[in-house]
Amino acid sequence: MSSSSPLKSFSYNKYETRRRNPNPKISALLVIDVQNYFSSMVKPILQNLLTTIELCRRASIPVIFTRHRHKSPADYGMLGEWWDGDLVYDGTVEAELMPELDRRPEDQVVEKSTYSGFQGTRLEELLKERRVEEVIVTGVMTNLCCETTARDAFTKGFRVFFSADATATADKELHEATLKNLAYGFAYLVDCERLGNGLNGN
Amino acid sequence: MSSSSPLKSFSYNKYETRRRNPNPKSSALLVIDVQNYFSSMVKPILQNLLTTIELCRRASIPVIFTRHCHKSPADYGMLGEWCDGDLLFDGTVEAELMRELDRRPEDQVVEKSTYSGFQGTRLEELLKERRVEEVIVTGVMTNLCCETTARDAFIKGFRVFFSADATATADKELHEGTLKNLAYGFAYLVDCDRLGKGLNGN
């Protein structure tokens, strides 16, 4: 791993005791909630996100997007109380996936109404139908939807890879807290550089 | 909240923007994986754990224990790979719940084989049968089973309370990482002091 890797100089490095590359034949890329509502959070990682998607496509890894949206109070769950009604509502421009994303007709979009991409959705079946055993997690927000989806994937038996540079959240401290805990118990950390080296047979 | 509360002087305080007490009529206490295998991790919080259990019993809050145990390679999931086979095997002394726990015949014990107390268990049904809407999470390990169970509870629609002083993990940094993220997105933080006041009508 070259010395310019962003993964080398962070507080979570000491928790990263395991290293592995995704296996393109059995992986899927999850791009979590990259919606207009989160655009200011996404902008700093947009290039990394697009690079990650591109690297995965080149390795023929299917790309699955999630889209968080509420259709009625029946689906608010605890999010209504927690966020004081400041939710992402279906049918609004904010709820749409960002136009800057490289999306293709064959990419699945999984709609969800809570943090985990698995809860109340067909994501698990979709992955199993495609014989996917590994997921690579990107998108927003690192410590909410990305981390909960990653933990859920692990407990459901998937091998989890988590992008340190194509995820983002409200602040650096929370982002790093997620990476520490995921590196410790759940996920192999990756970034654009490792994927660039690891997915293309280097 | 008294000035001696352990919750007042930590890195996660700034993320604690919400405060609430459990409602004894609709709560359940979850005591996660307090097994011999984890006894050295539990010892420093044992008194807080026992105090928390006692406070809940006084308020007639049902107590549910989880016990992590593997019965065969079929249930290892990703834990076999992640923990290099160093797992908790059913039928061993290490897999038994610690004797020091105040356990009663009417307390349910939920057996699990991955981090979340909900995955592959009847925990959700058990709680719904009892009309439980809120869970108070205690036990070990803060950032693995406790946090994953707490996140799972939230996405399944339960209101979550998380004990800052009756949970423990391998190191303080990871413990605080969990408390920051849970305070931010998932759970009302509690401790013995807050429960002492909040559950008994003060």
Chain A positions touching B186 (Cβ under 8 A) are 82
Q: Over 90: is that where the pLDDT of A67 sits?
A: yes
Q: Do A143 and B186 touch (CB under 8 A)?
A: no
Looking at the partner chain, which of B82, B157, B174 has a beta carbon nearest the beta carbon of A180? B174
* Predicted pLDDT at B10: 81
* Predicted pLDDT at A2: 40
Looking at the partner chain, which of B116, B155, B173 has a beta carbon nearest the beta carbon of A115? B155
Residue B85's CB: how many other CB atoms inside 10 A? 11
Q: Do A82 and B148 touch (CB under 8 A)?
A: no
Q: Which residues pair with B160 in a beta bridge?
A: B135, B187
Mean pLDDT of the region A190-200: 94
Nearest CA in chain A to B119: A155
* Predicted pLDDT at B7: 59
Q: What is the pLDDT of residues B136-189, one digit of tens each?
A: 999 999 999 999 999 999 999 999 999 999 999 999 999 999 999 999 999 999
What lies within 8 Å, CB to CB, of B15 at 6+ separation is A174, B179, B180, B181, B183, B184
Strand duo B159-168 + B134-140: pairing: parallel
User: What is the rounded CA–CA span in Å between residue B30 and residue B32?
Assistant: 6
B185 touches chain A (CB under 8 A): yes
Give yes or no for a contact between B62 and B169, defined as CB atoms under 8 angstroms apart.
Answer: no
Q: What's the pLDDT band for A177 if we cut at 50, 70, 90?
A: very high
User: What is the rounded CA–CA span in Å between residue B71 and residue A121?
Assistant: 29
To the nearest whole angstrom, how far is the Cα of A36 from the nearest Cα of chain B? 20
B30 touches chain A (CB under 8 A): no
- Across B52-183, the runs of DSSP E, i.e. the strands, are 63-68, 108-112, 134-140, 159-168
Q: Over 80: is that where the pLDDT of A111 sits?
A: yes
Q: Over 80: is that where the pLDDT of B46 sits?
A: yes
User: What is the per-residue DSSP string for A44-72?
Assistant: GGHHHHHHHHHHHHHTT--EEEEEE-B-S
In 3-state terms, what secondary structure has residue A155?
Answer: helix
Chain A positions touching B185 (Cβ under 8 A) are 82, 115, 143-144
Is residue A4 packed enough to be buried (19+ CB in 10 Å), middle (13-18) or exposed (0-12)? Answer: exposed
Least confident of A53-67, A115-129, B6-20: B6-20
* Predicted pLDDT at B11: 83
Nearest CA in chain B to A175: B181
A16 touches chain B (CB under 8 A): no
* Predicted pLDDT at A1: 40
Q: What's the pLDDT band for B12 if we cut at 50, 70, 90?
A: confident
User: What is the rounded CA–CA span in Å between residue A95 and residue A34?
Assistant: 9
Sign of CA dihedral B95, B96, B102, B108: positive
Q: Do A15 and B178 touch (CB under 8 A)?
A: no
Chain B positions touching A84 (Cβ under 8 A) are none
Return the residue matching tokens 């410790």. A184
Mean pLDDT of the region B24-49: 98
Buried-state track A180-191, b at ≥16 Cβ within 10 A, e below 16 = bbbbbbbbbbbb
Nearest CA in chain B to A186: B82
> What tokens were used for A17?
């005791």
Give yes or no for a contact between A96 and A37, defined as CB atoms under 8 angstroms apart.
Answer: no
User: What is the rounded CA–CA span in Å between residue B160 and residue B139?
Assistant: 14
> What tokens were used for B176?
């605080």
User: What is the rounded CA–CA span in Å between residue B89 and residue B72?
Assistant: 8
DSSP type of residue A14? G
In 3-state terms, what secondary structure has residue A12?
Answer: coil
Nearest CA in chain A to B16: A82
* Predicted pLDDT at A202: 47
Mutate to test the interface with B, among A68, A154, A162 (most CBs of B within 10 A): A154
One-letter identity of residue A111: E
Give yes or no for a contact between A112 and A66, defined as CB atoms under 8 angstroms apart.
Answer: yes
Q: Over 70: is that where the pLDDT of A56 sits?
A: yes
Q: What's the pLDDT band for B202 if we cut at 50, 70, 90?
A: very low
Give yes or no for a contact between B66 and B110, defined as CB atoms under 8 angstroms apart.
Answer: yes
Q: Do B180 and A173 touch (CB under 8 A)?
A: yes
Looking at the partner chain, which of A154, A177, A186 has a beta carbon nearest the beta carbon of B181? A177
Q: Do A78 and B173 touch (CB under 8 A)?
A: no
* Predicted pLDDT at A6: 52
Percent of chain A whose pLDDT exceeds 90: 91
Q: Over 80: is that where the pLDDT of A4 sits?
A: no
Q: What is the pLDDT of residues B118-141, one digit of tens each?
A: 999 999 999 999 999 999 999 999
Instruction: Flag whether the ipTM exceeds 0.90.
Output: yes
Chain A positions touching B174 (Cβ under 8 A) are 15, 180-181, 184
Q: What's the pLDDT band for A201 if we cut at 50, 70, 90?
A: low
Q: What is the pLDDT of residues A118-138, one digit of tens each?
A: 999 999 999 999 999 999 999
A12 touches chain B (CB under 8 A): no
Give yes or no for a contact between B88 and B95, defined as CB atoms under 8 angstroms apart.
Answer: yes
Q: What is the pLDDT of residues B53-106, one digit of tens each?
A: 999 999 999 999 999 999 999 999 999 999 998 999 999 999 999 999 989 999
Q: What are phi and psi of A10, to 5 degrees?
A: -125, 165
Q: What is the pTM of this model?
A: 0.95
Q: Do A144 and B185 touch (CB under 8 A)?
A: yes
Q: What are phi and psi of B152, to 5 degrees?
A: -60, -40
Q: Over 70: is that where the pLDDT of A80 sits?
A: yes
